[in-house]
Amino acid sequence: MEERPSTFLRLAAPLRGFVQRFTYLGLILAAFGLMLVGKADTVLVDRARTHVTDAVAPILDAMSKPVTTFTRAVDNVRDLADIRAENARLREENARLRDWQMAARKLDAENQAFQKLLNVVPESAVSHHTARVIADSGSGFSHSVILNAGESQGIRDGQAVLGNDGFVGRIVGVGSRASRVLLITDINSRIPVVIEETRVRAVMAGNNSGRPRLLHTLPSQRITPGQRIVTSGHGGAFPAGLPVGIVAAVTDGGIEVQPYMSRERLEFVRAADFGLGGILESNDRADPASGGK
C-alpha cells in the first residue's frame, strides 16, 4: 500500500486522516460502552469471558507446564539446603499431630454416636474434582485464576474451591475445558463466615488486596487478632467449617483477615461439589417448589 500510491489513494489521503480520527473516537466510545454493559449485565460478559478463556486454555495449559517444572526445580534446590532442619521440625510436628489424631478419632467416634442418638440429618456426600491452575491474571484489577478443567470434567458454577491450605474461592465461569475461580480476595467476593471459637457471624469481603475485611460485625462483638475464621454455611452456597483464614488486625478501618491460601502457591486445587444449590444459581437451577428466587 505504501509502495505504490495510486491516484485514488492520493486523492483519499486527507479523507483517510478523518476516517482514522473517527475510528479512534468510535473505538474509545465502544470501550466505554463495553464497561457500561459489563457493569449492567454481568451474565453476558461472563459468558463471553468464558468463551475466550476456553479458546486460550490449551495454550495456557501447555505454557504453564514448563513454568511449573521450573519453579518446582527451584523449590527442590531450596528445600535441599535446609532438609536437616526441616526433618527435625517435621519429626516434632509428627509427634504432636499423632496426639491430635488420637483426640480426633475419639471425638469422631463420640460425634457419630451422638449424631445417631439425635437423628441428625446427614450432610450430603462431597465429590471433588482436582484441577491445575493454568493462569493467574495478576494485578490489582481482579483476583482470579483459571483452571484446566471445565464442564466436561464435572466443574459447575458456584462450586467451592479448596487449596492445600484452605478455602480459595468459588467457580464463576465454566467453559467446556476451562473454568475461572474468583478468589476470596477479589473485590467481588463476599463469603459468609463465622469466627470459629466465638461463633460470631460476619461477611468476608475482598478488596483486591491480599487481606479481605470482615463486614457486618457489631462493635460489641469481641474480635481479636489470631482468631480462626471458617465458612459459616449461611446462604447455602458453601458448607460450614471450611478454613478461611485468621484475624490479622483489628483497626478503626476495619477487621483485616489473613487468608490461609496463598495465591502464588496455588497449583492444584479441588473444586468441591457439596450438593448445595446455593443462592448463586438465580436462573439455571432455581427450583420453583422451594419458593426462593
Partner 1 sequence: MRREFFLRLDRLARNLTPFGLTLALIILGMLPVRIPDYASVAPILAAISLYHWAVYRPHLLPFVAVFLLGVAQDMLSGAPVGLFALVFLTFYGAVVLQRRFLAGKSFLVYWLGFAVIWFLATLELWVLASAFHVTLLDMKAFLFQYLVTAGLFPFVAWIFLRWQQAFLQQA
Smallest gap from residue 140 Cβ to partner 1 (A): 3
Smallest gap from residue 156 Cβ to partner 1 (A): 19
Smallest gap from residue 6 Cβ to partner 1 (A): 17
Residue 56's SS3 state is: helix
- DSSP letter string, 140-190: TT--EEEES--GGGT--TT-EEE-SSSEEEEEEEE-SS-EEEEETTSTT-E
Smallest gap from residue 47 Cβ to partner 1 (A): 11
Smallest gap from residue 145 Cβ to partner 1 (A): 7
Nearer to partner 1 (CB atom), residue 72 or residue 222? 72
Closest CA to 248 of 275, 220, 224: 224
The rounded distance, in Å, linking the Cα atoms of 191 and 131 is: 22
Nearer to partner 1 (CB atom), residue 153 or residue 262? 262
Instruction: Please report, as ranges, the residues that interact with partner 1 according to CB under 8 A.
Output: 2, 20, 23-24, 27-28, 30-39, 45, 48-49, 52-53, 56, 59-60, 63-64, 67-68, 71, 133-146, 180, 182, 186-187, 207-210, 262-267
Beta bridge partners of 271: 129, 161
The rounded distance, in Å, linking the Cα atoms of 167 and 131 is: 15
Nearer to partner 1 (CB atom), residue 6 or residue 139? 139
* C-alpha cell read off for 244: 478461611
First CA to last CA across the chain, in angstroms?
A: 59
Nearer to partner 1 (CB atom), residue 186 or residue 273? 186
Nearer to partner 1 (CB atom), residue 145 or residue 160? 145
